[in-house]
């Protein structure tokens, strides 16, 4: 228990990922949904960097770095869209966004 191995980090990452999944499934507010998505991305980052550390390979850190970059741009675009939607419909409740009904 004292020795922190890769497994610990991976278990941590899994737990955080499942918390993110809970958030994704439960939240009905679009903004809250974005928060949950961030959690998912972060948990993956942890896992990548941990693997990189324990195997002595920089690939994991590079990957995590790019994930951060992408997450940032995603937030920018996503919030832009959210603002537009709010201006039009005055609500960001997911239950009202069902125009893609199949």
Partner 1 sequence: MFEAAAFYLFAFLTISMFWITVTTKHALYALTALAAGMIFISAFFFILEADFMGVVQLIVYSGAVMALYAFGMMFYDTTRELHEKQGNNTLVFLLSGISALIVVAMVAAPLVGGNVEAHYPIVEGVGNSQAIGMVLFTKYLVPFEVAAVMLLVAMIAGIVMAGKKMDESFSELSEDEIDTKNAEVIS
Partner 2 sequence: MEMYLYIALFAPLVGSLTAGLFGASKKTLFTGVFASGMLFASFISSLLLLVQVLQGNTYHVEMMTWIATGGLYVPFGFVVNSVTVTMMMVVTTVSTVVHVYAIGYMDHDKAFNRFFAYLSAFVFSMMVLVMSDNLLGLFIGWEGVGVCSWLLIGFWYHKESATWAANEAFIMNRIADLAMLVGIFTLYWNLGTISYEGIFASVGTADHTMLVVAAAFLFVGAMGKSAQFPLHTWLADAMEGPTPVSALIHAATMVTAGVYLVVRMNPLYDLVPEVGIVIASLGAFVAMFAASMALVNRDMKRIIAYSTLSQLGYMFVAAGLGAYWVALFHLMAHAFFKALLFLGAGNVMHAMSDELDPFKMGGLGKVMPGTFWMMTLASIALAGFFPFAGFFSKDLILEVAFVGHHPILYTVLLLTAGLTAFYSFRLAFLIFTGEERYKLFGFHPHEAYKYMLVAMSPLLVLAIIAGFLFKGTYYEMVTAMLPAGEYHVHNPIVYWIMTIGTQLFVGGAVLYAWIKYKNAKVDKKVEAGFFYQLLFNQYYIPKIYDEVFSKPYAELSKMFWKLDNAVVDATVDGIAGVFYGTAKKTHTMQDGNLSSMLKWMVVGLVALLVSAAVFIGVVTNADVIMKLLGH
How far apart are the C-alpha atoms of 93 and 19, rounded to whole Å? 21
Task: State which residue, 33 or 47, has the beta carbon closest to partner 2.
Answer: 33
Angle at 31 between CA 97 and CA 88, to 5 degrees: 45
Using CB under 8 A as the criterion, which residues of the chain lie in contact with partner 1 when the complex forms?
Answer: 1-4, 7-12, 14-23, 25-29, 31-32, 34-36, 38-39, 42, 45-46, 49-50, 52-53, 55-59, 61-62, 64-66, 68-77, 79-84, 86, 92-93, 95
How far apart are the C-alpha atoms of 73 and 54, rounded to whole Å? 29
101 binds, among partner 1, partner 2, none (CB under 5 to 8 A by kind): partner 2
3-state secondary structure of 23: helix
67 binds, among partner 1, partner 2, none (CB under 5 to 8 A by kind): none
């Amino acid at each position: 228990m004292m020795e922190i191995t890769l497994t610990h980090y991976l278990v941590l990452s899994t737990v955080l990922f499942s918390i993110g999944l809970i958030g994704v499934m439960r939240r009905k507010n679009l903004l809250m949904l974005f928060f949950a998505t961030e959690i998912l991305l972060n948990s993956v980052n942890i896992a990548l960097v941990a693997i990189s550390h324990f195997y002595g390979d920089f690939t994991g850190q590079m990957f995590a770095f790019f994930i951060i970059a992408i997450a940032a741009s995603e937030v920018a675009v996503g919030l832009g869209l959210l603002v537009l939607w709010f201006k039009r419909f005055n609500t960001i409740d997911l239950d009202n966004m069902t125009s893609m009904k199949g």
